Structures are given as C-alpha cells and as structure tokens.
Chain A
C-alpha cells in the first residue's frame, strides 16, 4: 500500500464519531459592536496607525498627481495600476521577479480593507508579480474608502472561495520582535506601508 492509501486507511480506522460542522457565515456577530464605535473607516484608520501603517485621504481625481508629488523622486518605482502616469519600471506578470530588485516603491490597488485589524486584501491580478509587494521598500496601496468590512468574517463572506491563485491580507509594514521582543519595523519586506484612501 502506498503512503497515501496507508494514511487515509489509518485515519478512517481511528477517526472519532462525526462532530457537527458549525454553519457557515453564522457568527456571534461583533460587527454590530464595531459599527457602533463609529464608521468602519475611522476604525480602520486608527488600527492602521497603531500597526505602523500610514493613511492618506485623497480625492479620487487627485490621487495620481499626489503620488507623483510624493514619490516622484524615488529611484525605482513600479505601479500596477493601469492608466497611472508614474512609475519608471516595467512590471508584467510573466517577468523574472528577481529583475524587479531592488525596488523602492510599489503602488498597487487593494480590494477592500478590514476595520478590526487594518488589513487590506490584495489579489495577484492587482500585483502582477507576487514578489513585488515584498521586494518593495515602500508599499503604497490605493483603496476605495467605501470598500471596507468590519471583521474577518465579513471579509471571507465577501471573498467566498474567490481567493485567486494567490491573494493576501497585508496589515502594516513588515516587522519582527525576534531580538528580545523589541519591535523593529522593516524586517524583511517593506519598511513603510501607506494606504491611500480614495473618496469622491
């Protein structure tokens, strides 16, 4: 018997009587409590600041000129947002990801934010190169301020099973506390994480 069949047979022999699976999507909801504390956006913003993200509020019409002003001086900047007239590096899905290194700034689109933890969901279609948001010294995420959910439960209700071939929640710049529990921001990935919240 091969290992697969052996393992499956052993499990079948040893598994306990079936335990009922709780129903999907039914959670002792705390989204109501979150809502009551104020808008999801303000909760998202305060949590983001606590986890060392930077939050900018920008009108939809102004965002790319604002970014040009902010990051125009950076040496190597890539953007995966179509139609934006900044970025001086070519970024394409089928490129060798190593050729992007070193990367000073990556600008990309986030799908939605999660108020309870300051995370933003980004899928590979918005990254083009999966390595890009990790290689970048500074990650800039453009996010529509109306695209906000309260908790991770709502996040997965929204995503269903459409998780892409790769998708991720990003909650702040990379960090570590592995030396004496001292918090260091900028461990292996980005040293800065900026979320640009767009409003009409």
Chain B
C-alpha cells in the first residue's frame, strides 16, 4: 500500500478534506481546554508514563497476578499467541454455548485480528454496536479513527446508508434523528443477542478486573443482557493497581475528546449470577515488540487518539489512507512491526513536527519512533535511485565549470518548465509543489558584475 497514493484519493474531495481537517482540529482544541483545566497535567502525564513503564518492565508478573485474581473472581481467562488463536477461542466459546448472535462494542484489537469476517464465515452474526462502528459496518468499510470510527463520512452519506439498511426516511440527515433510528435498531439487537464482546481499556493486576469506557452505554447494554461476556485485550493493557486507574482515567477522555470522563466507566470483576465472563489475553506480536528498545514505548498507548487529531498529515489524509487498523502517528509506528515492506510508506506520512509526542498522555516519543522507522526502512530498501542522484550531484558540485554549465542549463530548463524534477516518473516532489522561478542570472555572474570591480 502507498500512503501518498491513498491520501491523494481522499484529497480529491477538497471540501471533505477541509471539513475533516477542521473538525479534528476542533477536537484537538477541546483536548487543550480540558488538559489546561487540570492543574498538574504534565505531572499526570509523567506519572502515567512511569506506571506504564513499570507495567511493561514486569508484564509477566502482572499478567500472572491478574490471571490468578481474575480466575478466583470467576472469570475464565484464555491466552492467545496470535490473531488466529484469538479468533478460534472466541468462536469456540460461542459454539459451546450455541450462540449465533454476537453484539460487539468497540475493540481495536478485534479489528486487528479481523474477527468479524472470521465469525461471519463461521455462521455467527456480528453486530457492531458503537454508532460509529455500526455506520462503517453497514458501509462495509473499516473505521478511519480509533475513537471516531466514521469521522470520514458526512451525514448525507450516513442518511443514505440508514435509509437503505435501517429504513430511515429518504434524504434525512439530522444527526438526532439518525441516531434515534440506530438506537431503535440496536436495542432490538441487544435484546436478541446471545453473547456480547467488548474490548478492554485497563486491566488491574491487583484486583483481577477490567475497565471498559464508553459514552453510548453500548458495551454495557450488550454484556449485561447477554448470557456470555467475552472481553478481548492486548497483554499491554495491564496496570498494577486500582489506584492507577485514577491517573489514567483523568487523562484518557480529556485527551480523546476533551470530556472530563467518558459517560460510562464500567469495572468488571466477575459475571452476574447465572452468566459467564471470558477474557482473552492476546499477544499477536506484542511480546516481541517489548524486546525492541527503540519501539517498546508504543506499548504504553492507552488508545485515546489524540495523536491522530493533532497530526497535520492525518487530518488532511483521512484514516483510510494508512491502510491499517490504527491510522495516524500511532498506526504508523505499529504497522511496520506487522509488515515493514508493505507499510513502508507510513513512517513517512509525517512532518516530524512532534505534535503527536506533545499531546500523548503517556509521553510516547511518537515522532522519534517514526524517525527510527525511516532509518530502518531506508537501510532495508538501500534507496537505489538516491545514491545515484547524490553521486551525480557530488561530482557536479566538486567541479566549478560543470557547476556553471549545469546552472546555466537548469535556469533555462526551469524557465521553459522542463526539468527532471517535474517528471513524476522520477520524483513526486513537484506533484503538489511549484519550483521557484528561475533567477535572471547566477549568483556568480551577479557578483562578478557588482562586487568584483576592484
């Protein structure tokens, strides 16, 4: 996949690009206001980063502690090395209980594991219940943002989709009305579901429980009505103590949407009487990343999405241009772990301005990691064309006569608009940039005329 190519497709709709850019910037501004209202915000970030640092440095101990407590609370704990194993575990739980209708709240991990298509292929109906996820599910698209999955879509498009699939009035675009239509349809799904799946925001080692944050209440409606609750979590979601939740919850919603807290912050420590609770701990490459010093800090991420909202490239290129589950700066440092070659354009989808690092609530050096990936990728590609150009340039610059001749030549070419740099076969540089107009004379001839009189 190529980020520039896919970004160009998004940019073809200038009005949408502008809207997307401005809307996400607004979310960034809300984040600033919320962060600014908390005295000691920077201390809070530092503390969060330290807690996550500790959690990663003792991850195996905490996972064992968590498992033991969770099991004694009555939670069934499963372990999955990779996506396929995770999907198999989920399917088996459903099959054992004869479950056919699964309601699912937002979980980037199940997107990463491609759980939905797998379950569909095995005869399970999956309904995504977060409104944004439901919209993209009906549209048969992937989420374009981890917190606002349908942020790339306009209300007219949502209206058309809902008209076709949920029977809303033709041409209706009012968000209140469309949300109500989705509510009625989803409420039916909640009452009919025989299993519910959620993600996990935080899992607490000392108590053996986990926390799920939503604004809509969809995760809770699913799990409290269905007889089976399955929670899928990446192993890095562990925090040591309940007390640490105070730190992360103060940061999460403020960084994500500018709210002081999500509407619902649900703490699960065991099933309700007569129901079952399962938790699947998923590695899928995480334990290997733990060993890579320059990249391991990305495992601290609490999935707030602030790095996306602030990113000048993400805002103008849309989440789908990244071609991976998680877009934006975070996605660009995660995806190359999965496949460095096919995601090689992502670390370059950045200006390295560092804004992502500045807003990150757990202080991940995101732009530093993007830079580190660039080194790796270029080294791997050996950038065959660049050294040739550089070698040529070095020879020209080292020979005054050659330099003068090529300067004279280049000025004439530029005036006629002919230059190899304008050839998109050779370089993308000028596809969205103009070259400067050619000067009348070279500096050398100007100098000879004006200064070298003595």
Residues of chain A whose beta carbon lies under 8 Å from any beta carbon of chain B = 2-4, 6-8, 10-22, 24-25, 27-30, 33, 47, 51, 93-94, 97-98, 101, 114, 116-119, 124, 129-131, 134-135, 151-157, 159-161, 163-182, 184, 186-190
Contact = CB atoms under 8 A, between A and B. Distances in A.
Interface in B225-275: 225, 235, 240-243, 245-247, 249-250, 257, 259-274
B56 A16 contact: yes
B225 A15 contact: no
A19 B241 CA distance: 15
A12 B288 CA distance: 11
Contact of B131 (A33, A168, A179): A179
A21 B51 contact: yes
Given A22-B54, A166-B267, A168-B266, 20 more contacts: A10-B283, A11-B235, A11-B290, A15-B59, A15-B60, A19-B54, A20-B54, A24-B243, A28-B43, A97-B224, A114-B261, A152-B261, A153-B243, A153-B247, A161-B207, A168-B267, A178-B135, A181-B26, A186-B183, A187-B217
The 3 closest A-B pairs by CB, nearest first: A189-B217, A14-B291, A131-B224
Nearest to A5: B79
A22 B44 CA distance: 11
A135 B265 CA distance: 16
Contact of B287 (A11, A153, A164, A167): A11
A162 to B, nearest CB: 9
Given A7-B235, A12-B60, A15-B59, A168 B224 contact: no
A188 B220 CA distance: 10
Interface residues of B, number: 94
B81 interface: yes
Nearest to A139: B217
6 contacts: A7-B281, A98-B191, A130-B220, A171-B264, A188-B190, A188-B221
B37 to A, nearest CB: 9
Interface stretch (B5-13, B117-125, B149-157, B382-390): B149-157
A135 B183 CA distance: 12
B209 A11 contact: no
A3 B242 CA distance: 27
Nearest to B272: A130
B215 A187 contact: yes
A4 B262 CA distance: 33
Interface string B196-237: 000000000011010000011110110011000000000100
Contacts, number: 263
A78 B86 CA distance: 40
Contacts of B209: 163
A163 B179 contact: no
Nearest to B271: A165
B79 A184 contact: no
B57 A182 contact: no
Contacts of A114: 261
A131 B243 contact: no
Given A27-B47, A28-B44, A178-B132, A153 B246 contact: yes
B251 to A, nearest CB: 10
A33 to B, nearest CB: 5
B23 A94 contact: no
B182 to A, nearest CB: 8
Interface string B285-322: 00110110100100000000000000000000000000
B23 A8 contact: no
A169 B246 contact: no
Contacts of A153: 243, 246-247, 250
Contact of A160 (B79, B150, B178, B242): B242
